Structure 1
């Protein structure tokens, strides 16, 4: 069972226990805790086995999304992925900032920035080209974590990004032991890109919060480049 489902189940069990203890005081029918117990266990099992915990993810993401601070953090995280992918030549197909939008677009988990990965699937790439492509994706995957550190001083998300790096390294024949050093390297590369284009990054964050199309996000970054060139 995934961590999010376990957390939700723990909360449910706590509420059930509380209802049992307070039931006699508030005259709650004795059958209610039993019904609630079966309901919570049944829903948790169905969600984990039948829906791959999508229901739990949607619920927890919706609750977290009620906080403007949480939504801002998500936007900063995803905008960093978007900006670094743009400057490293990785095409972006779409993005979402919450689970509901991801579900509507048929995306897994809570969505995020979706890349065109067909370049990974080309069999005619030389070894140096493969390594260059891998390094670019490592930088992009570490960008969200890096942005959270730059903006907030700590990290709340990014475990999936770290796992993607580990999986990619294994796919390219590396051992998992090199993942930590590659992540650190990617963090430094992402930091350089973000700081170099900081004004464009902040403008992108606001645009993504408004839900603008990918093409409009590209236009914002293009405009930032033109303004920098004009000042040079």
Structure 2
């Protein structure tokens, strides 16, 4: 599921850090004055892409480089999305596909299409609780692995939109997070097996098979 946390601040920090370092250490290492100028032009151009949105996908395009270049970011993304995948599968919600590389998605013409995609065309009232659990499972997975969560703002937005007609959406969010935490804690082996499959960009069917194998071994 699409991530949308503190990425705007991350982009700003990257831009400021890059420009500051090029200006400060440039003269000391013989860096051409053209370099900071070029960087400024590039970053302004990227900001233009961000501001225009390209159909709402500008931020995802700008974050692509950061996510691809940072092993820590890639690892968090993997574990976050594996949480969504596992919860959806265990709760009987169809998984359409997943993509952990924003750059690969862009090459396929799917700008910003990153994460696990589940069938949300018909969120029936009797299945709303399951979808809420799936939406919160990414946060639950990050907390399970890292003791904190940096992604999930977009997941919370989806949950809040789906429960806006209910008396207390925040209560549904808290219960959904608790259910997601319980699912991941009770199926640790299946979760780790799924992470390994997704790390290798396995097909959805192979991910299903890895989960099923772990679950069957657990019952023996």
TM-score after normalising by structure 1: 0.77
Distance 2:82 2:115 in 1: 9
Work out the number of aligned pairs and report it.
213
Asked if the contact 1:75/1:209 (under 8 Å) is kept, the reply is yes
| Cα 1:199–1:23 shift into 2, 3 Å | closer
| Cα 1:197–1:221 shift into 2, 3 Å | same
| Cα 1:91–1:105 shift into 2, 3 Å | farther
Equivalent position of 1:119 in the other structure:
122
Asked if the contact 1:80/1:144 (under 8 Å) is kept, the reply is yes
Secondary structure at 1:73 match in 2: helix
Distance 1:103 1:112 in 2: 13
Q: By how many angstroms is 1:28 displaced? A: 6.1
| Cα 1:74–1:48 shift into 2, 3 Å | same
Secondary structure at 2:117 match in 1: strand
1:222 counterpart (192, 209, 212):
212
Greater Rg by CA:
1
Secondary structure at 1:180 match in 2: helix
Equivalent position of 1:90 in the other structure:
93
Equivalent position of 2:61 in the other structure:
55
Secondary structure at 1:119 match in 2: coil
Gapped regions of structure 1 (runs ≥ 5): 121-129
Equivalent position of 1:166 in the other structure:
160
Q: By how many angstroms is 1:88 displaced? A: 1.0
Asked if the contact 1:95/1:112 (under 8 Å) is kept, the reply is yes
Gapped regions of structure 2 (runs ≥ 5): none
TM-score after normalising by structure 2: 0.81
Asked if the contact 1:5/1:48 (under 8 Å) is kept, the reply is no
1:196 aligns with 2:186: yes
Provide the alpha-carbon RMSD of the alignment.
2.8
Secondary structure at 2:182 match in 1: helix
Q: By how many angstroms is 1:198 displaced? A: 1.7
